[in-house]
Amino acid sequence: MSDQFTKHYAEPERTAAAVRHYRWLAQHAEPLRQPALNVISPLSLTFERIDGRPVRPDDLPRVAAMMGDTHGAACTTDLATATLNTPHRFQDGTVFADYLTPRQTALQRRLEQGYLPNRTTLRAMLDLLEKTASGPCAFYKDSNPRNFIITAAGDIFTVDTDDLSLAPMGYDLAKLIATLLLTYGPLTSNAIDAGCDAYNQALRQHDPRLDTTDRERLDDFLALHAVLTAPYLGRNGYRHSWPSHIRLRLQGAS
């Protein structure tokens, strides 16, 4: 097996954006670890190959702590002046999409695709999105189990960091929890609490004033992820359905 992995891109602009995001994370999002970027070509990037496995439910507290530490580091440095409803441009040309606009577009598309029953439900989801757009900025990188690699030594590497956007604290943690339960089945309330606690404790090490994620806010994020991930159920290893309290919440918005 090769000790390298090459990822291909359709356009040079996509390659360049992926490089900028990779470098931004390396500089401002410690302790997030990425495979070494060895070769940059116009339409491809070649990385160090990391052998390991994806995240499992019992890894949640450890990965959540790493995410909280990472979000706290980014928020108290380069994202300190960012706001959730405005795209953020850095001096090196890196741009993070804002939190609201791409998700408003995606929710509208879910209605058109038939994943939302009517415009009343769409309005409820848009209102929920706006409700969650508060507090200091973290970033979103689609934290599903396959986008982490845990090595035999227990090291956690993050992969597939091409697309980043601004997001509230806890939103990307909710994506990890959502995709873990869709992949492996229901998580216990205690397991979810342990993940939230680990995330919040790591976050507060950077600034005790940073917003933390409680279960009510987490459920808001999970309801949004339930709609946004709807097209992928039954694909990409998402074999399980949403917990009953999230389904009931969505039915109540109809």
Contact 76, 211 (CB under 8 A): no
Architecture in CATH for domain 51-253: Alpha-Beta Complex (3.90)
Residues in the chain: 254
Q: Is 182 exposed, middle or buried (0-12, 13-18, 19+ CB in 10 A)?
A: buried
What pLDDT does residue 2 have? 75
The predicted-structure confidence for 19-73, as pLDDT tens digits, reads as follows 999 999 999 998 899 999 999 999 999 999 999 999 999 999 999 999 999 999 9
The predicted-structure confidence for 120-155, as pLDDT tens digits, reads as follows 999 999 999 999 999 999 999 999 999 999 999 999
Q: Is 146 exposed, middle or buried (0-12, 13-18, 19+ CB in 10 A)?
A: middle
d(CA 59, CA 116): 33
**What's the whole-number mean pLDDT along residues 204-209?**
91
pTM comes to 0.94
Q: Are strands 44-48 and 4-8 parallel, antiparallel or unpaired?
A: antiparallel
What pLDDT does residue 53 have? 97
Q: Which residues pair with 39 in a beta bridge?
A: 46
